[in-house]
Structure 1
């Protein structure tokens, strides 16, 4: 592994983050999912960030957290409602260095604090092992149409501990 990452920080999403988060989204798809999805599938998936206004509205409509290193965004995650992780993307340069885990830990605590008993995610084939290691259990396979391509993912769910929302 390369040089160790300075400790990331978390902060809420700001509208001014949209362009950077769209870049992270596209880079993560194109650089991290190649073992599980072909180029046409990656392109069909990444096109969601082309309309920055719609992408920004999606982020603003959910509880979206940004992971930063030295004040620069390196990843983001969003909670839809109280019980669904909608998006989790980290820049390829920090993949595998704990940024995704930090984001999911924070969403789990926030979901618990909001009264959620479970948390679910439609995990890409690339992310299944990440979520499995965190205690998520596969519930069903899905095929999702995106711009003329079919993308597979797996709905996974985790029981949140009663103390997930409690402060420590």
Structure 2
């Protein structure tokens, strides 16, 4: 896996049209093995109403991963402790942008006093979150348009370290 020199910045209102395109491309190209064509179509429809999509992103802490100044991915923190959205353009998937975005949200959530971070991970993203230390808590189905999509609620404790081997807690 090659890690590219991504940078982070906050989302600006003018970014919304491009973020909607990244969202659509990410779902359409990266989720094809996990969801049907009808499910993907229903999922990407969330960006059809650009004003509602913008309201969702601007109502949360939304960070962008950029490459050479151009957005290639984004993630949003809902409240202090929920990753709401994480999408990376397929051309840069697997090259470190999502990891950088999630690490930043974990640090920000911890700074906001969160003890844990949760996410409703798509079947496509579940392995990514598992590798980052998230554990599955429940299996869900969500309605998008006329389609049911499966996902998994996952959680990660923030700021906890395991005691050294052989240590007893008192």
State the TM-score, normalized to the length of structure 2: 0.92
SS at match of 2:120: strand
Gaps of 5+ in 1: 164-168
Equivalent runs, 1:43-122 vs 2, <5 Å? 43-122=41-120
Equivalent pair of 1:45/1:146 in contact (CA under 8 Å)? yes
CA radius of gyration, larger in: 2
Q: Does the Cα contact within 8 Å between 1:75 and 1:90 map onto a contact in 2?
A: yes
What is the aligned length?
161
> Which of 132, 135, 144 is the aligned partner of 1:134?
132
**Cα pair 1:5 1:94 within 8 Å, conserved:** no
**2:150 matched to 1:160?**
no
**Please, which of 19, 22, 25 is the counterpart of residue 23 of structure 2?**
25
Deviation at 1:5, TM superposition (A): 5.7
* C-alpha contact (below 8 Å) 1:112/1:162 kept by paired residues: no
Deviations 1:37-89 (A, max 9, x none): 01000000000001111101100000000000011000000000000000000
Gaps of 5+ in 2: 162-170
Counterpart Cα distance in 1 of 2:140 and 2:4: 37
Whole-angstrom distance in 1 between the partners of 2:114 and 2:32: 34
Instruction: Tell me which stretches of 4 or more aligned residues in structure 1 moved more than 6 Å.
Output: none
Distance 1:5 1:119 in 2: 25
Give the one of 5, 11, 14 matched to 2:12: 14
Contact 2:6-2:67 at 8 Å conserved across structures: yes
Structure-2 separation of matches of 1:39 and 1:17: 27
Distance in 1 between the 2:22 and 2:134 partners?
24
Aligned residue in 2 for 1:166: none
CA contact (8 A) 2:26 2:90 kept: yes
Is contact 1:83-1:111 (8 Å) kept?
A: yes
